[in-house]
A and B are shown apart, each in its own frame.
Chain A
Amino acid sequence: MSLRVGVVGAGGFGRALALASARNGQDVVLWSREERELPHPIRLSTDLASMRDRELIFVAVPARHAAPMAEQLGEVVDGRHLMVHISRGLIGDDLQTLTKVIRDKTVCRRIGALAGPLVADALAEGRPSGAILGTGFPELTGMVREAIGGAGLRIYDTRDVVGVELASATVGFLTVILGYAQEQGAEPGTLAVVATRGMVEMSRVGRTLGADESTFMGLAGLGDLIAAVAGDERPELRLGRALARGSNLQTAIGEIGAYVEGFEVAKHLLEHARRNELETPISSTFVAVSEGRMGPDDAIQALMERRVGTE
Chain B
Amino acid sequence: MLKRFLSERPLRLPHIRPYVPRPSDPSIFWFNSERDDIVSDVVSRICAEHESDQARLEMALNDAAFHEIRRLEKQRDEEARDRLGYWRSMIRRIGKMDATEQRRVLHTIVTNMARDVAGNFDPRVYRFARRVIPRLIGGVMEPRRLTHDLVASSHEALGRVLRVQGDLDHLQYLQSRGSLVFVPTHSSNLDSIVLAQALEISGLPPVIYGAGKNLFTNPIISFFMHNLGAYRVDRRIRVSLYKHVLKLYSQVMIERGYHSLFFPGGTRSRSGMIERHLKLGLLGSAVEAFTTNQVRRIDRPVWFVPTTINYALVLEAETLIRDWLTEEGQARYIIEDDEFSQIDRWIAFFRKVVGMRGACIIRFGEPIDPFGNTVDRGGQSLTPTGRVIDPGGYVEHRGKPVADGARDAAYTRELGEVLASRYERDTVLMSTQVVAHVLFRHLVQSTPGMDLFGRLRLRGEISLDCESLRRELGEARDRLSALGARGRMHISMVVKEDSPNELLERALSFWDGYHASTAASREGDRVILGDPSLLLYYQNRLVPFAEEIASEDQLRAACEIRKLGAHR
Residues of A at the B interface (CB closer than 8 Å) are 1, 55, 74-75, 78-80, 104-107, 109-110, 135-139, 208, 275
Contact = CB atoms under 8 A, between A and B. Distances in A.
Given A79-B393, A107-B383, A208-B566, 10 more contacts: A78-B393, A79-B371, A79-B390, A79-B394, A107-B381, A109-B372, A109-B414, A136-B410, A139-B404, A275-B559
Given A78-B393, A109-B414, A136-B414, A55 B398 contact: yes
B385 interface: yes
Contacts of B411: 109
Interface residues of A: mostly helix, strand, loop or mixed? loop
Nearest to B397: A139
A139 B413 CA distance: 16
B41 to A, nearest CB: 27
A78 B381 CA distance: 11
A80 B396 contact: yes
Interface of B: 371-373, 381, 383-385, 387, 389-394, 396-398, 404, 406-407, 410-411, 413-414, 559, 566
Contacts of B394: 79-80, 109-110
Contact of A107 (B371, B392, B407): B371
Nearest to B395: A79
A108 B413 CA distance: 15
Contacts of A75: 383, 385, 387
A37 to B, nearest CB: 31
- Which 5 A-B pairs have CB atoms at the shortest separation, nearest pair first? A79-B394, A79-B393, A136-B410, A80-B393, A78-B389
A275 B563 CA distance: 11
B294 to A, nearest CB: 11
Contacts of B410: 110, 135-138
A106 B414 contact: no
A79 B398 contact: no
B371 A109 contact: yes
A106 B372 CA distance: 12
Contacts of A55: 398
A74 to B, nearest CB: 6
A136 B413 contact: yes
A34 B453 CA distance: 63
Q: Of residues B372, B383, B393, which shows the largest number of chain A Cβ atoms within 10 Å of its Cβ? A: B383
A106 B393 CA distance: 14
Nearest to B394: A79
Q: Of residues A105, A107, A136, A138, which shows the largest number of chain B Cβ atoms within 10 Å of its Cβ? A: A107
24 contacts: A75-B385, A75-B387, A78-B393, A79-B371, A79-B389, A79-B391, A79-B392, A79-B393, A79-B394, A80-B394, A104-B384, A105-B384, A106-B383, A107-B373, A107-B384, A109-B394, A109-B411, A110-B394, A110-B410, A136-B414, A137-B407, A138-B407, A139-B406, A139-B407
Contacts of A135: 410
B43 to A, nearest CB: 29
Contacts of A107: 371, 373, 381, 383-384, 389
A95 to B, nearest CB: 16
A174 to B, nearest CB: 26
Contacts of A78: 383, 389-390, 393
Nearest to B411: A109
Nearest to A208: B566
Contacts of A74: 383-385
B476 to A, nearest CB: 21
Q: Of residues B392, B394, B396, B411, which shows the largest number of chain A Cβ atoms within 10 Å of its Cβ? A: B394
Nearest to A137: B410
A272 B184 CA distance: 32
A271 to B, nearest CB: 14
Nearest to A78: B389
Contacts of A105: 384
A268 to B, nearest CB: 17
Contacts of A106: 383-384
A139 B372 CA distance: 20
A277 to B, nearest CB: 9
B183 to A, nearest CB: 18
A138 B3 CA distance: 47
A55 B390 CA distance: 16
Contacts of A137: 406-407, 410
A164 B406 CA distance: 20
Contacts of B389: 78-79, 107
A137 B394 CA distance: 12
A80 B204 CA distance: 33
A107 B381 CA distance: 10
Contacts of B414: 109, 136
A168 B170 CA distance: 44
Nearest to A82: B397
Contact of A138 (B384, B391, B398, B406): B406
B456 to A, nearest CB: 22
Contacts of A109: 371-372, 394, 411, 414
A136 B559 CA distance: 32
A143 to B, nearest CB: 9
B452 to A, nearest CB: 16
Contacts of A80: 393-394, 396
A158 to B, nearest CB: 13
Nearest to B382: A107
Nearest to A105: B384
Contacts of B387: 75
A270 to B, nearest CB: 17
A107 B559 CA distance: 34
A175 to B, nearest CB: 30
B383 to A, nearest CB: 5
A80 B392 CA distance: 8
B402 to A, nearest CB: 9
A109 B385 CA distance: 16
A310 B393 CA distance: 51
A75 to B, nearest CB: 7
Contacts of B371: 79, 107, 109
Contacts of A110: 394, 407, 410
Contacts of B393: 78-80
A137 B387 CA distance: 25
Nearest to A275: B559
B376 to A, nearest CB: 14
B93 to A, nearest CB: 38
Contacts of A208: 566
A79 B385 CA distance: 15
Q: Of residues B392, B396, B410, which shows the largest number of chain A Cβ atoms within 10 Å of its Cβ? A: B410
B160 to A, nearest CB: 41
Contacts of A79: 371, 389-394, 396
Contacts of B397: 139
A110 B407 CA distance: 9
A83 to B, nearest CB: 13
Contacts of A138: 406-407, 410
A248 B139 CA distance: 76
A109 B406 CA distance: 14
A137 B406 CA distance: 7
Q: Of residues A78, A106, A135, which shows the largest number of chain B Cβ atoms within 10 Å of its Cβ? A: A78
Nearest to A109: B371
A104 B381 CA distance: 15
A137 B411 CA distance: 8
Contacts of B404: 139
A24 B398 CA distance: 18
A22 B527 CA distance: 73
B186 to A, nearest CB: 23
A55 B414 CA distance: 21
A138 B402 CA distance: 14
A109 B418 CA distance: 12
B168 to A, nearest CB: 26
